[in-house]
Amino acid sequence: MSDVVKLPRSIAEEMIAHARAGKPEEICGLVAADRQGRIVKIFKVPNAAENKVVTYFMDPHGQFQAFKAIEEEGLELYGIYHSHPATEAYPSATDRRLAFDDASGTPLYPGAVYFIISLADEAHPVIRAFRLPDPNSVEELTVEIVPR
């Protein structure tokens, strides 16, 4: 997998709009790609966390419906996205922990790219992308905004 994520402008704008609509709470969802690995769609999933202002937890039913739609549309999971309404776009310790199974330490979504949208500077939202190879490591990827 490349260290460059080609994110279509329309998808980036949709992610930012979702983050703005949810502020001051975190929002979340799935990023889907076509069979050639091109990002083509996001699936918004309700945040079911107890304290949505500081974390996210995908609603299980909503997440199931999103995965079902990805499969039905012949797409593949590319990544997971969520927002940081007031902090930088970097995986928190909680973000890293939630990406792994508590019991085994294995990744819940092997190969997934984790996108974080920061609204810390409302006028200049930031989208960054990461791989989380293990609970203690973060690898940043370059996000390149491209036309559709």
Residue 130: name the closest of 117, 116, 144, 109 by CA: 116
Q: One of 14, 26, 72, 122 is an active-site residue; which one?
A: 26
CB 147 within 8 A of CB 65: no
Active site residue 26: yes
Burial classification of residue 8, based on how many CB atoms lie within 10 Å of its CB (0-12 exposed, 13-18 middle, 19 or more buried) = middle
CA pair distance 102, 27, nearest whole angstrom = 23
Radius of gyration of the chain (CA): 14
Residue with tokens 């200049």: 124
Are 119 and 86 within 8 A, CB to CB?
A: yes
Residue recorded with tokens 């997934």: 112
Just list the catalytic residues: 26
